[in-house]
Structure 1
C-alpha cells in the first residue's frame, strides 16, 4: 500500500464528476462486461473463474459505488465516441485504485507507526482501519444462495407481500431468475457477435436493458406482477444522500435503473438477488403494524434454516430446536436455538439476526463494537452459559412444550456455532479481532458464521465426521487464520486439509484459494456443467476401504470409534492410502483362510491396530484390548486405538486406550519379544506388491502439508506392523 497524495474525499469528488460526463453509463456497461463475464466451453473449470480474483477488475461494491454516483443526477444516455468511452473506463480504473489506496492507508500507516515504536501488542484494527476490509472484503454469500434462501426467509410473510407489494415471494424469485437469465443471454449474444465479426460493439449497454413484456413472456407470469416487482426494485428519483463511501447508497436497496419508457437496466446478477433477500425486511419494518411480526419471522427463519441444514447431515432425529435448560423448581437457565447430539459430541447453535449498521461501516469504533456485541458476542456468551450448565449436569433439556428431550448428557466435546442471518461484512476478520471467548478441555472455541457458510458447509461436508472434524480444525486455528471470509478456509481444507505447522503463527489466506469451491457450488446450484467436488480430500480417497471405514464409524457413533474417526481425518493422504491397502490385505487373507489377521500403524498421534476377525466375540475384544495395551506400552504412546472388522471390512467394535506412559517391569517382560516395527513405506510396498518411489529431501512431503519433506515428516516416527 503506497502513501496517497490525495484524501478519500478528494478522490470521491473526482469520481462523482466523472460519472456525470455525457454517456458515462456506457462506460459502466463496458466495465460490467469486462469484469463480470465468465466464458467457458462445454464444462466450466476453476481456471475460467480465476479472472474474477484479478486485482485489476472492479469488484461488486466498487461497481455499485460508481452506479450510485451516476444516479445522483438524471442519467445521460448519449453515445460517446469509442476513444472517449475508453478514456472514461481508464479514468475510472485509476480513480478506483486511488480510492482503494486512500481507504486502506490508515491501517498501513498505523502498522508502520507501531513497528517503529516497537509496540507489538498494540491493537491497530479499530474504527477507520476496519473500513477497508468491510468495503473491499470478499462476498460471504453466493448470488444463488440469496436467490434460493429468499423463499424460505419470507415464506411466512407472503400474505403481506401479496397485499402490499402485489407479488408473492415465489413470483419475485422467478422474476429475478428470469432477469438474470435474460442478462446472460443478451451478453452472450453480443459476445458471440463480436467474436464472429471481430469488431467490438460501440456500446454494451443494450445487453443490460430489459422490458416488462420480455420478462413476463420468459417467466410466464402476469405482466401486473412483473410491473409490481420492477416498481419495487427500480430506483426512483436521485441518490443525492450518497456523498461518501460511508453513506447509504440507494443502489443497494433498489438496483434496477430506469432506462426510458418502461425499460430497466440490470448490471449485475448479485445486486438483484442480494436486494431481493434483504430489502423486503426493511419494507416490512416501515409498516409499524407489521414490525413485530416481521422481526419474529426473521428470527424464526434463521433457527429453522440452521436446523434443516444440520439435519441433512446428522439426521433429523439428532437435531433439536428451541431447547430449554431447566433446573429444579422450574427455573430456566437458558435456551438453545438448535442442539445437535451425535454420539458424545454436541453442537450448540445460537442464531442472531443483527446487522452491521451504517454508522459502523463509516468507521465509528464504538458502533463497530456495539454491533459486534449484539450480533456475535451476546450469542456466544449465551451458548457458553448453556454449555457449562450441560457439563455441570444439574439441568434437564426440555422441548418447547416442556417435554424432556434427552437423557442426562455427559458430552466429551461441545462445539458452539454462532450463526447470523445476513451478510455481515468482514465477519471472519472482526471475529478474530473482537470476540472474547474461553475454552476448556470439553468446550471448544466458537465457530462464527452466517447462514450462507452453514449452507455451503453442509453441502460440501455432508457427513457427520467430515463436518465435525472441519469445525474442530477451524476453531483450533481461530487465531492463526487471517482471511476476508470463511469460504477461503473451507476451500483450503477441501484441497489439502486444514493442517497448519505448529511453528506458524498466522497464515493469510487469499480469496482465490476458494476458486475450486466456488466452481463446485456453482455446478451444484446453478446447473452449470463442471466438477461437483473440488479435487482434494473428498476425491483422492473416494471408493477406498479407508472411506468405507469412515462411513461405518458414522453409522454407529460410539465414543471410541468417533475418536478414531477424527484421528483418521487428520492423517496425511499417504498414510490413508496405506490404511486402505492394509485393510485390503488383511480382509483378503481372512476371506481366504478364515483366520484373524491384523496390522498396525503408528506416529506422533499414537497408534491404531486394525484387526480382521471372521466372527466378533467378547474374547476377541479382550485379546485386541490386551494387544493394544502392549503396543501402546512398547511405543510409549499416550493413546492407542484398536479396530475390529469382518472379512468385508465392516466395523465390528473398537477400543481406545488413553493414559500417560509409565514404566512397568511386568510390561517390560510382556513386550520384550514383540516384533520390531516395520517402516510404513516397506509395509505399504509389501501389501501392494509394488515398489515405492523414493522421496527426496526437497520433494513435497507425502503427508499433504505442502511443505518440503525435510521440513515436515522426515525423521518423524511413522511406522506400521504386519502380522
Structure 2
C-alpha cells in the first residue's frame, strides 16, 4: 500500500477533474506508456534477483489501479498519438505524479483523520467501518494475485463453459488463454524493440508507446490459434464506446473489463499486461451472467471451480487420502452443517468453506451497507458455517458423511480445528476488512479463521509443500492476526519464508511493507513463468539444508501421529539460534552414544511459557529407553512449570526411535519438589526463542574411549578438558 500525504485543500472531485484535463492533453498517451514502462517492467541481466524487483515498490511508482484510472480517462476522448516534445512529456509525467498524490490524499482523508483522532483519543469506533474510511484500502491495497495465476487458472475456471463460449463468443477458454499468453510474450519483445529503435542522438523522437501496439497476425503466429479465433478473442476484450460511466476513481471503469484500445490501423493498444490476464479470469463470468438462460449454470460452475481448486491444491500437500470434498455433518439424524473441503493431519483438522462471492461495484464506491453486505455473503456466512462444523467435530457428537453417504471416520480424536475461508476472486483489502467486520470465536480447540483467496492458497501450497510446514504456517499466521498490519497476505508469507513468522511479545503491532514480498514474487515468477532465478528464497527452507535439524524435520514430516505433529509445530516455530543448538545437540549426543554405548541427552527450553524439548540418544532396550525419557521429561516439565514438554529418543544414526508429549497444566507437588531439588533451574525472564540449554551424559571412565570419537582413551584425550 503506497502512503500518500495526510491532507489536501482540494476535494476528490476537483482533483479528478484536473486529472481528466491532463489525460485529454495532446499526445498524453506517450506519457502513460512511459509510466507503464517505468513502473511495470523489471529489467535484469542473466538471472532475475529479488533486488531487481525493488523498483516495483518504489514510493514514487504508480500502482496498477492508479494507471488504470489514467487510461480510463484517456479513452474518454479520441486517443491522440502525436508525439509531444521532451519538455512537454516531462511536464506531463511530473504533473501526473503530483495529481495522483493529491487524489490519494483526498480519497484517504477519512482514514487519515480517523488515525489522527485515534492518537488523540477522540476516534469514533464506528468510523473504521464506514465506507468513506474503507475506500482508501480498497483502492490502494496491493494486488493479491500474480498475473500468471490469472492466466493459468482461467482454463480450469471456465473449462465447463466452453460450449457456451464457442457458441456465443467464437472461441473456447484454451484459445483465449493461448492468445493472452502470446500477448505477454509479444509485448515484452515489442517493448524491447521500441527501446532499441530510439535514436541515441535524437531525444525528440524518443517514445516507448509503439512497444504497446499489438497486431492479430503476430499473435496468431505466436499462439498457434487460427486468425479468426484470435480476432474474436481480441474483439471480446476491446473497449467499446468512450467509458463515459467512469466519473470518479471508484466508479466502473470499462478499461478494466476491456483493456484493449482500438487503433485506426486495426491494431490494438494494451498499456498493462496485468489488465488483460485479470480480464481473462473475470470478464467471461459477466458475459455469461448477461445470458438469462445460462447464468444459473455459470454460477454453479464458478462455485465448483472454487471447491475443486481448493481441494486439489491441498491434496498436493496432504495427499488425496487426507483431503475430502463435500462432507455433511450430522448431529443425530439431523444435518448440522456442510464442509466444502475437509483435511486431516494427525489430530489436527482443517475445515474449508469456499465461496465465489466478490466485492461489488457499489461497495468499492464506499457504500457502507453494501460493503458489509458483500463481506457477510463472501466471508462471514461461510465462517459461521465453518465454526458450527468445527464445534461439532471437537465435541465428538457428530457423524461425517461424504457425498455418497459413506461415513468418514477420523483416525485421531481432534485436538485443534483450523477454519479456512477461501474466495475465488481478488477481494480488495481482504485482511483489512476481516479485521474490521469479523469477530471470530477462539478457544483451545478452535483457531481464529484464516481468510484468503485462491491465489494465496496456491502460493502457500507451492512454497510450503509438506503438511507440517503448511499447517505450522497457518497456525502461526492466525495466532499473529491481530498484531500484523499489511496490505495483502503475500507479504506475510514472504516474511515467513525469509525468517519465520515469529513476533516478539514486546511488539503489539507490526507493519510489514509490500517490498518484503519481493523474494516470494521472484520465486513464484521463476517457478511459473520460467524466468531464470532462485526457485526458493533464502530463509527457513534453505538455512538448514543438509543439517541434522533438517533431517529431523524431514522424518517428522513423514509421520502424522499427534506426537510428531506436536513436536513439528514446536520445532518450526522456534528461532534460528535455538535451531542451531538443536542441530549441534543431535550431532553430539548421537556421536557420543555411538562411541560409548551410553545415554546422552540434551534439554532446550523455549519461551516464557516454559515449553521445551528433551532429546535422548539411548542405545538401551526400547522399554528402558522409553521409561528413562518419560521420567526425564516429567521432571524437566515440572522444574520449568511448563504446560507442555516433548521428549524424543534418537538412534545413533539420528533416526527417530520414539517420542513422548506431556501436555497438561502444571500443579505444585511436594514429591516432585523433592525429586527436582537438584535439577538446574531455568533463570526467569528469558525472551521467547532464546533457549536455555542443559547437556547430560553418563560419566566416562579414564580407560574408556573418548566421547569425542578420536579413538584414543579418555585419559589421553579430553580428560581434564572435557568437550
Task: Give TM-score, length-normalised by structure 1.
Answer: 0.92
State which drifts further: 145-154 or 111-120. 111-120
Which of 26, 43, 48 in structure 1 is aligned with 2:47?
43
Which of 274, 280, 293 in structure 1 is aligned with 2:278?
274
Q: How does 1:548-627 map to 2 (within 5 A)?
A: 548-604=551-607, 605-614=610-619, 617-627=622-632
Q: What's the counterpart of residue 517 of structure 2?
A: 514
1:428 is paired with a residue of what secondary structure? helix
Q: How does 1:426-505 map to 2 (within 5 A)?
A: 426-505=429-508
Q: What's the counterpart of residue 181 of structure 2?
A: 177
After superposition, the C-alpha distances for 1:271-309 in whole angstroms (9 at most, x for unaligned) are 010000000000111111111111000000000011011
Which of 13, 17, 20 in structure 2 is aligned with 1:13?
17
Q: What's the counterpart of residue 637 of structure 1?
A: 642
Structure-2 change in CA distance of 1:197 and 1:464 (3 Å):
farther
2:107 is paired with a residue of what secondary structure? helix
For structure 2, list consecutive stretches of 5 or more residues without a partner in the other structure: 698-723
Q: Distance in 1 between matches of 2:445 and 2:584?
A: 35
Q: What's the counterpart of residue 34 of structure 1?
A: 38
Q: Distance in 1 between matches of 2:489 and 2:513?
A: 11
1:124 is paired with a residue of what secondary structure? helix
CA drift of 1:672 comes to: 4.5
2:128 is paired with a residue of what secondary structure? coil
Q: Distance in 2 between matches of 1:66 and 1:653?
A: 64
Q: What's the counterpart of residue 247 of structure 1?
A: 251
Which of 657, 669, 675 in structure 1 is aligned with 2:662?
657
Decide whether the 8 Å contact of 1:40 with 1:48 is kept in 2: yes
Q: What's the counterpart of residue 422 of structure 1?
A: 425
CA drift of 1:226 comes to: 0.5
1:646 aligns with 2:620: no
Decide whether the 8 Å contact of 1:488 with 1:513 is kept in 2: yes
Q: What's the counterpart of residue 706 of structure 1?
A: none
Q: Distance in 2 between matches of 1:504 and 1:121?
A: 23
Decide whether the 8 Å contact of 1:457 with 1:467 is kept in 2: yes
Q: Distance in 2 between matches of 1:368 and 1:678?
A: 52
Q: What's the counterpart of residue 709 of structure 2?
A: none
After superposition, the C-alpha distances for 1:459-510 in whole angstroms (9 at most, x for unaligned) are 1111111111111111112211111111111122112211122232222221
2:482 is paired with a residue of what secondary structure? coil
Q: What's the counterpart of residue 721 of structure 1?
A: 695
Decide whether the 8 Å contact of 1:393 with 1:409 is kept in 2: no
1:140 aligns with 2:144: yes
Structure-2 change in CA distance of 1:218 and 1:615 (3 Å):
farther
Decide whether the 8 Å contact of 2:339 with 2:389 is kept in 1: yes
Structure-2 change in CA distance of 1:138 and 1:407 (3 Å):
closer
CA drift of 1:631 comes to: 2.4
Q: Distance in 2 between matches of 1:51 and 1:17?
A: 29
CA drift of 1:610 comes to: 1.0
Superposition RMSD in Å: 2.1
1:315 aligns with 2:319: yes
Q: Distance in 2 between matches of 1:196 and 1:87?
A: 21
CA drift of 1:603 comes to: 3.4
For structure 1, list consecutive stretches of 5 or more residues without a partner in the other structure: 680-709
CA drift of 1:114 comes to: 4.5
Task: Give TM-score, length-normalised by structure 2.
Answer: 0.92
1:248 is paired with a residue of what secondary structure? coil
Decide whether the 8 Å contact of 2:199 with 2:206 is kept in 1: no
CA drift of 1:266 comes to: 1.3
After superposition, the C-alpha distances for 1:645-695 in whole angstroms (9 at most, x for unaligned) are 222212222101233334444334434455x4799xxxxxxxxxxxxxxxx
Q: Distance in 2 between matches of 1:601 and 1:69?
A: 63
Structure-2 change in CA distance of 1:591 and 1:260 (3 Å):
farther
Q: How does 1:250-399 map to 2 (within 5 A)?
A: 250-329=254-333, 331-399=334-402
Q: How does 1:147-226 map to 2 (within 5 A)?
A: 147-193=151-197, 201-226=205-230
Decide whether the 8 Å contact of 2:68 with 2:255 is kept in 1: yes
Matched positions, count: 690
Q: Distance in 1 between matches of 2:207 and 2:199?
A: 15
Q: Distance in 2 between matches of 1:667 and 1:14?
A: 78
Decide whether the 8 Å contact of 1:601 with 1:721 is kept in 2: no
